[in-house]
């Protein structure tokens, strides 16, 4: 059965006019329930990330600063959300959601988190709407507990997974693959194990061809036994930050390629939602909902 991490805390109240489309975290599960793609029992409520697990990835000093709400104005500006206890609580639920998804994926082949993909969080700092790096936290959890030996992170958000690349730069058991807009944020890129920087305006056919050609190569070269997928939908042509021109259908095909790849090779996979900044909320919600629909179709 498709297990999906969701908590009402995922939707965080933002000041009026904030540019982050927070409503999507409620609308995506509502849409999936409404249309019958999932039922209530597909969802589970994740617990709170605990300190020992967090410290497998984040520095003690950063963890303390987050918990004490003791960040400088500069650090808060870099993250981009107003930070208080509620926000920290939310972040810990999201990261734990990805950890628990990983355990479900070992059982069911796949699990998804209705948030996360917070790939701009580094070991010692956050930026770009990210404070904990949920996929890094979950990957380190699996390694630490001997539940996976070689983990592939497929990051297809339009922005480079800079935090993830940095966290695993000295970790041979994790392979970071990021395919992103070359001219997009972050300006100063980190080095993933494989970076594919895309030109502005790229359309479906070359985008999908590149992905199709790359994934089998990673399987041969790295031989992963677990996959995390960052399924950001800011690659859409409608996205106001993305600079690419992938259609909604193309984005759905992207998800299918990743999930079929994992299923064919019996690789448990956890998807976290990642970014999406189309001006029409419906474009964002539809594209994210497609990730869940495709997961259902491919795995069950």
Q: 3-class SS at 45?
A: coil
Q: How far is the CB of 241 from Zn ion (least distance, A)?
A: 7
C-alpha to C-alpha distance for 44 and 7, rounded to whole angstroms: 8
288 binds Zn ion (CB under 5 A): no
Alpha-carbon span 202 to 208, nearest angstrom: 10
The whole-angstrom distance between residue 255's C-alpha and the CA centroid of its chain comes to: 13
Using CB under 5 A as the binding rule, whether residue 155 contacts Zn ion is answered as: no
Instruction: Give bridge partners of residue 113 from the DSSP assignment.
Output: 5, 272
Residue 128: CB minimum distance to Zn ion, A: 8
157 near Zn ion (CB under 5 A): yes
Q: Look-up: residue for tokens 């030109």?
A: 199
By CB under 5 A, is residue 21 in contact with Zn ion? no
CA dist 4 to 44, 64, 113, 176, 289, Å? 6, 29, 6, 24, 12
- The answer to the question of residue 181 lying near Zn ion (CB under 5 A) is no
Say how far residue 48 (Cα) sits from the centre of its chain: 18
Rounded to a whole number of angstroms, the minimum distance from the CB of residue 236 to Zn ion is: 11
Check residue 159 for interaction with Zn ion (CB under 5 A): yes
CA 62: distance to chain centroid? 21
Exactly one of 195, 234, 237, 239 binds Zn ion (CB under 5 A); which one?
Answer: 234
Tokens matching residue 63: 């963890």
232 forms part of the interface with Zn ion (CB under 5 A): yes
The region of 82-90, 96-104, 132-140, 149-157 touching Zn ion under the rule CB under 5 A is: 149-157
User: Does 161 interact with Zn ion (rule: CB under 5 A)?
Assistant: no
The answer to whether the CB of 3 falls within 8 A of the CB of 111 is yes
Nearer to Zn ion, 239 or 253 (CB): 239
Among 275, 283, 290, 292, binds Zn ion (CB under 5 A): 275
In the complex, least distance from residue 274 CB atom to Zn ion, rounded to whole angstroms: 6
Binding site for Zn ion (CB under 5 A): 157, 159, 232, 234, 275
């Amino acid at each position: 059965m498709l297990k999906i991490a969701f908590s009402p805390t995922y939707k965080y109240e933002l000041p009026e006019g904030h540019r982050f489309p927070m409503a999507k975290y409620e609308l995506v599960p509502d849409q999936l329930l409404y249309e019958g793609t999932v039922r209530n029992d597909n969802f589970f409520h994740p617990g709170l990330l605990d300190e020992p697990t967090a410290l497998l990835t984040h520095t003690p000093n950063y963890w303390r600063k987050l918990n004490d709400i003791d960040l400088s104005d500069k650090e808060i500006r870099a993250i981009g959300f107003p930070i208080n206890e509620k926000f920290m609580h939310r972040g810990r639920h999201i990261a734990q959601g990805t950890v628990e998804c990983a355990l479900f994926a070992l059982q069911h082949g796949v699990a998804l988190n209705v948030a996360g993909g917070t790939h701009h969080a580094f070991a010692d700092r956050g930026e770009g709407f990210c404070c904990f790096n949920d996929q890094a936290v979950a990957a380190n959890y699996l390694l630490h507990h001997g539940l996976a030996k070689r983990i592939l992170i497929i990051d297809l958000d339009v922005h480079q997974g800079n935090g993830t690349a940095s966290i695993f730069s000295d970790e041979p058991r994790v392979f970071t693959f990021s395919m992103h807009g070359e001219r997009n944020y972050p300006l100063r890129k980190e080095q993933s194990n494989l970076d594919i920087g895309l030109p502005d305006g790229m359309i479906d056919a070359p985008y999908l061809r590149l992905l199709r050609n790359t994934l089998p190569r990673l399987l041969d070269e790295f031989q992963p036994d677990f996959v995390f997928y960052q399924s950001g939908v800011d690659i859409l042509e409608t996205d106001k930050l993305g600079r690419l021109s992938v259609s909604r259908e193309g984005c759905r095909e992207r998800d299918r390629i990743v999930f079929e790849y994992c299923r064919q090779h019996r690789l448990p996979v956890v998807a976290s939602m990642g970014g999406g900044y189309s001006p029409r909320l419906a474009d964002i919600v539809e594209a994210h909902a497609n990730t869940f629909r495709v997961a259902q179709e491919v795995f069950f």
